[in-house]
Structure 1
Amino acid sequence: MSETGHADATATDIEARAAVPLLLAPPFFMLVCITLCGTFPLHVFIPALPSAAHDLGASTSSIGATITLYVIGLSIGQLVYGPLSDRYGRRPVLLAGLVLFTLASLGAAIAPTLEALEFARVAQAFGGCSGLVLGRAIARDVSGAITLIRRLASLSIAMAAATAIAPVIGALLVEHLGWRAIFFALSAVNATVLLCVWFTVPETRAVSGHHTLARYLAGYARLLRSPAFVSHTLGGASAGTGIYAFLSASPFILESHFGLSGAAFGCAYGVLVVGLACGQTTAKRIAGKVPARTALISSSLIMAAAAASLVVAYAAHEWTVVTVMAPMIVMFYATGLSSPFAISGALDVDASVVGAAAGLYGSLQMGYGAFCTAAAGFWPDNPAVSMIATLALSSAIAWLSFKSAPRPLSAK
């Protein structure tokens, strides 16, 4: 398979490359459910941090480690599930991950100490990230390139919506039932998802039991040597998680500096999610009509324009809620536009290691997001400067990466 031939091929040729008959495609709603298993638990627990800290006698910084450890678990776990699913098949690996997630959620619900909660959160991340990896891999198995972009865009919209409502759900559960109710609810919901997966999600990949550890490592090395994979992954990571710099600095900028209330701060986040969803919707509409490489380069230029606007506003001392939020809405739109095309390009490099590609892409994306989160604090006395610099750097990396992506064969 060509590394880049998917971008400008005709719709008929592209759809003919679906790995399995569409008759075997699982319900798309199930792909949404299993994908959310990875990220939803991250955001739903945030409102419960103060309550859990008080109950367990932990400090604010100590209870915050449950979030950090979860992100680390997501990053590392994705490297494991991808190759395992290439060897043993998607279905058994997914079921095993969901079982671990269900049991770990129950363990977190009854955790008597902070240490027990931290251990349960790591196990929960390792279980939940199976859905994050395999939701994308299964979508690739049953889709041609155009359909894949549209499905990935729909998955991204669902994740964006879940990110917006998860803290609200978490806050309501904490207020009425206590913080442990969050994990009881996650365990119960995921048990239901596990049961539905058992009956509705078939195997979508032929098992390759001959894979060994050496083959896993060789597969990762082959992906990292692929210009198409590296350009799509590096560009996708910088475009997709560069915005973490804003998410990290936003409480200090919007609340501490501008004095926004908690409600106004929540509304600001809601508007950003709308921008993200609009970008993902645009990606769905233009898939198959606009070359993927063109869409990716355009999205990086939109990001760069938004970052430049922030630079100008700050330099001109016109630093207001409007001059911050307007460019960030545009930035989130560009993120939503680029993500489905970048993921599709990375997964379409080598059909023999789709699972490994999905895991490596997700792991590197999370790693870059962690870097951007940390980078926002490089200048603690003025987080706005750190945020702007990180966003500008991310947009530049995205442009260079997408620009260097190999051109499709049909365009040469």
Structure 2
Amino acid sequence: MTTTAERTAPGRRAQLKFVLVLGGLTAFGPLSIDMYLPALPRMAGDLHAADSTVQLTLSVFIVGLALGQLVLGPLSDAFGRRRPLLVGLVLYVVGSVLCAVSPDAWLLVAARFVQSLGAAAGVVIARAIVRDLFSGTAMTKFFSTLMLVSGLAPILAPLIGGQLLNWTSWRGVFVVLTAFGALLLAVVAFFLPEPSDSRSPARLGQVMRTYGRLALDRSFAGYALASGLLFASMFAYISGSSFALQGVYGLSPQAYSVVFGANGVGIVLAGQLNGRLVGRVRERVLLRSGLLLGVVGGISVLAAAVFHAPLALLLVSLFLLVSSIGLVMPNASSLALASHARSAGSASALLGVLQFVVGAAATPLVGLGGPGTAIPMAATMAGFALLALLAFTALTRPARVVVSV
């Protein structure tokens, strides 16, 4: 990616405003997924529903988050960023209110789907706005700054949710999410100007052709697969680590929370290190380094699980793999979006959807060996980290120049 011909970046005060607004939009997903997790048992009891029915509120949210990005990304290319974003924020507020007042579990599932469509607007359009505002190393640095939010939100969300439950019911969690959505709606409506003046048609045929063109673009596919496959390794960690560390290694819930939080801090630190190195080191080199770090961490996790290594070695290995996200995501996003300014919304949507689809495929693999072993989780993490490095190496190599003699 060219780093010398960058567009004029916003000034420092404007950048701070964009960090706060786009960071809030980026946090929609983790906050909406993780904040209410401590309340799931209470919700099942209050709504007189089976645990599996209440867990559907999580599954349907992830499905809606993926589908919403596919729709709202192209719409933001056609109508500008503000209008689809405002519609999405209204949907999020309405969905959150419906969640707070739902009288039974099935209405709650439907309300979560509405909420997820609104959250998708924040996630996909925030990424497209970064592409509108920045290019070159400035874009990568800004994505690295957003990793501060992406890393902290999953750590803080369950803690905030747990504290809220000390003085309110699970419905109060959705009231807080409603207030958060309403605040962002007001900020976007009054303080966020339209960042993009380019438009592309929103006809279904044109949208499908755009997605097809992106999928057939070797470089875009390579960067998207690299980030998506490593994100799948992260999904395996999220879905399996509580069972492995508590059930197999005997950590208490409190100790597990500390480990989970420390790994989240690793993502933040790696993201900030990446922001400092961008401009001195090429994005491809930083991305490759992050993928190699993920592979080393994944293989170490697998070796620790297979050979029953001391817990300390397993924890260090997990920290390496999870921290690699902070190096991979900013560089992969920046490199993937670099050549697609006119279709940044669609490109952002495909990036986001791929992460969730591949991540969802990784989750069932974690439980294949039953509750008494960490090997399936470790093998899934190592396998997807290796696939991420292979995708990057195979698909993003510079084309060879053939000279005729």
TM-score by length of 2: 0.94
Partner of 1:399: 389
Cα pair 2:77 2:346 within 8 Å, conserved: yes
Whether 1:242 aligns to 2:237 is: no
Whether 1:255 aligns to 2:246 is: yes
Cα pair 2:140 2:275 within 8 Å, conserved: yes
- Alignment CA distance shift 1:171-1:155 (3 Å): same
Partner of 1:3: none
Q: How many Å apart are 1:407 and its aligned residue?
A: 4.7
Give SS of 2:165's match: helix
Partner of 1:377: 367
Cα pair 1:82 1:359 within 8 Å, conserved: yes
Give SS of 1:27's match: helix
Give SS of 2:368's match: coil
Partner of 1:354: 344
- Alignment CA distance shift 1:411-1:206 (3 Å): farther
Residue identity (%): 31
* Matched residue type, 2:20: F
Q: How many Å apart are 1:35 and its aligned residue?
A: 1.6
Distance 1:280 1:39 in 2: 17
- Alignment CA distance shift 1:141-1:408 (3 Å): farther
Partner of 1:339: 329
Which shows bigger deviation, 298-307 or 337-346? 298-307
Partner of 1:40: 31
Partner of 1:284: 275
Partner of 1:159: 150
Q: How many Å apart are 1:312 and its aligned residue?
A: 2.6
- Alignment CA distance shift 1:210-1:392 (3 Å): closer
Out of 323, 327, 330, the position equivalent to 2:317 is: 327
Distance 1:97 1:169 in 2: 24
Partner of 2:355: 365
- Alignment CA distance shift 1:115-1:315 (3 Å): closer
* Matched residue type, 2:140: I
Distance 1:24 1:329 in 2: 34
Q: How many Å apart are 1:145 and its aligned residue?
A: 2.0
Q: How many Å apart are 1:30 and its aligned residue?
A: 0.8
Give SS of 1:176's match: coil
- Alignment CA distance shift 1:209-1:282 (3 Å): closer
Alignment of 1:65-80 (within 5 A): 65-80=56-71
Structure 1: tracts of 5 or more residues without a match:
1-5
Distance 1:278 1:23 in 2: 23
Cα pair 1:22 1:143 within 8 Å, conserved: no
Alignment of 1:212-227 (within 5 A): 212-227=203-218
* Matched residue type, 2:235: Y
Distance 1:258 1:139 in 2: 42
Structure 2: tracts of 5 or more residues without a match:
none
Partner of 1:170: 161
Distance 1:359 1:162 in 2: 21
Q: How many Å apart are 1:51 and its aligned residue?
A: 0.9
Distance 1:80 1:245 in 2: 27
Partner of 2:74: 83
Distance 2:14 2:242 in 1: 46
Distance 1:70 1:134 in 2: 18
Q: How many Å apart are 1:271 and its aligned residue?
A: 0.9
Cα pair 1:22 1:142 within 8 Å, conserved: no
Cα pair 2:77 2:342 within 8 Å, conserved: yes
Which shows bigger deviation, 76-85 or 244-253? 244-253
Distance 2:172 2:302 in 1: 44
How many residues are matched? Answer: 401
Distance 1:307 1:282 in 2: 21
Q: How many Å apart are 1:21 and its aligned residue?
A: 10
Out of 126, 141, 151, the position equivalent to 1:135 is: 126
Q: Which runs of 4+ in 1 moved over 4 A?
A: 20-26, 407-412
Whether 1:28 aligns to 2:19 is: yes
Q: How many Å apart are 1:349 and its aligned residue?
A: 2.9
Which shows bigger deviation, 190-199 or 306-315? 306-315
Distance 1:241 1:282 in 2: 23
Distance 2:242 2:396 in 1: 40
Cα pair 2:223 2:332 within 8 Å, conserved: yes
- Alignment CA distance shift 1:371-1:210 (3 Å): closer
Distance 1:333 1:408 in 2: 27
Give SS of 2:370's match: coil
Cα pair 1:293 1:405 within 8 Å, conserved: no
Which shows bigger deviation, 26-35 or 206-215? 206-215
Structure with the larger RCO, 1 or 2 (CA within 8 Å, 6+ apart): 1
